[in-house]
Structure 1
Amino acid sequence: MIGRLSGIILEKEPPLILLEVQGVGYEIRLPMTCFCQLPNLGQEVIIFTQLIVRNDSQLLYGFNNKQQHTIFRELIKINSIGPNLALGILSGMSIYEFFNAVEKEEIINLIKLPGMGKKTAKRLVVEMKDRFKNLHDKLFNKYRNTLLIDKPAKVSNIDVKTEAILALITLGYKPQEASRLVNNIAKIGMDCKTLICNALRSTL
């Protein structure tokens, strides 16, 4: 099992990165809350990973810290929540926001996440409430929700918007909804990461 990788970021295309570790390139999928905190290309980063093996593929999911990794592993244990939906949940909310949504049974906020229906959201709240009782101290005693955004890059605003829309579609949003979310908050000078993160937060 691959649980942790330390290497150089070669490519970044939301929600994927290509991480070089001793000459080997690992393609890793990250929730956007993690992607937005990554350093620039060519810099070193430590990623906590979860390998998902399927009949036709092996997919590697990555996280910036153990808290996010732990929540992902708990989410995929729930019936009807696969790794892609779990990735969408962690892309749309920080783990602190997710914890509060579960504790306060905020179903209306959970169903705003891509691929999350009302029935699944209710099951999620019931099952995660019990698990959070044991995980709370481990997850939140020293955890502070911090979002680090790189300085805006000088690139075409049209290209940035297109890239952001494609990233949201990859996370499970329908093309029309992804386009609406991005266009509603897009401003000249925004880089792709800022645009995606602000679009996701606008759904809460």
Structure 2
Amino acid sequence: MIGRITGTLLEKTPPTICVDVGGVGYEIDVPMSTLYTLPETGAKVTLHTHLVVREDAHLLFGFANAGERSAFRQLIKVTGIGARIALAVLSGMSVSELAQAVTLQESARLTRVPGIGKKTAERLLLELRGKLGADVGAVIHAVPDNQTDILNALLALGYSDKESMAALKQLPQGVGVSEGIKHALKALAR
């Protein structure tokens, strides 16, 4: 397995780049998120890689960090998701956005990625749940402080992460904690 490549960036032709390592040019497919972080051609570059060996080809995929590579590896384990679709997902959203979408079970966010339909998005949500490292704590830090208290109250009352976040989105801006809880409970009762 080729786990990492360091060399000179020769060319960028999205989604493929070419990296010269000791006189050998490696063609590496990368997500757009990695492509945007690459230096100009001629500069030294280091990529975390994943090698896919098939009967008809050896394909090398590169990533700016280990987190992207780990997410890619989780994605290609999902039934019906190949390397190209996994690259499209990582090109369309960051790893943290993907983890948050999976945690909150938001299939609509995944269907915005080209090549992901409703059924595929639902399969991704089902098979990736708990595997990308996102948890309610990470989601809580993404909302303002007073909404964190409201979210914690709803979770303590037994509402799911998804229901609680949906209720938070319906709250007016700058609402206080007690008023926010009342509004959220009304919204959840509908």
Amino acid at match of 1:131: K
How far, CA to CA, are the matches of 2:134 and 2:110 in structure 1?
19
Query: 2:53 is matched with which residue?
Result: 53
1:164-203 paired onto structure 2 within 5 Å: none
- CA offsets per residue over residues 39-72 of structure 1, 9 Å max, x none? 0010001101111111111111000100000000
User: Displacement, 1:100?
Assistant: 1.1
1:20-39 paired onto structure 2 within 5 Å: 20-39=20-39
Amino acid at match of 2:42: G
- CA offsets per residue over residues 68-125 of structure 1, 9 Å max, x none? 0000001101100010000000000011111111111111110111111111111111
Query: 2:4 is matched with which residue?
Result: 4
Relative to the length of structure 1, the TM-score reads: 0.64
1:5-154 paired onto structure 2 within 5 Å: 5-132=5-132, 135-136=133-134
Residue identity over aligned pairs, in percent, reads 47
Q: Deviation above 6 Å: which 4+ runs of structure 1?
A: none
How far, CA to CA, are the matches of 1:44 and 1:122 in structure 2?
40
- Which segments of 5 or more consecutive residues in structure 2 lack a partner in the other structure? 139-190
Quote the RMSD (CA, aligned, Å): 1.4
How far, CA to CA, are the matches of 1:90 and 1:110 in structure 2?
11
- Which segments of 5 or more consecutive residues in structure 1 lack a partner in the other structure? 141-204
Amino acid at match of 2:35: F
- CA offsets per residue over residues 4-48 of structure 1, 9 Å max, x none? 000000011111110000111000000001101100010001101
User: Displacement, 1:126?
Assistant: 1.3
- CA offsets per residue over residues 110-148 of structure 1, 9 Å max, x none? 01111111111111111111213xx359xx8xxxxxxxx
How far, CA to CA, are the matches of 1:78 and 1:100 in structure 2?
17
Q: Is the 8 A contact 2:78 2:124 kept in 1?
A: yes
How far, CA to CA, are the matches of 2:77 and 2:57 in structure 1?
19
Q: Which has the larger radius of gyration?
A: 2
Relative to the length of structure 2, the TM-score reads: 0.69
SS of 2:131's equivalent in the other structure is helix
Amino acid at match of 2:99: F
SS of 1:90's equivalent in the other structure is helix
Amino acid at match of 2:34: C
How far, CA to CA, are the matches of 2:130 and 2:11 in structure 1?
39
Query: 2:142 is matched with which residue?
Result: none
Larger RCO (CA within 8 A; separation ≥ 6): 1
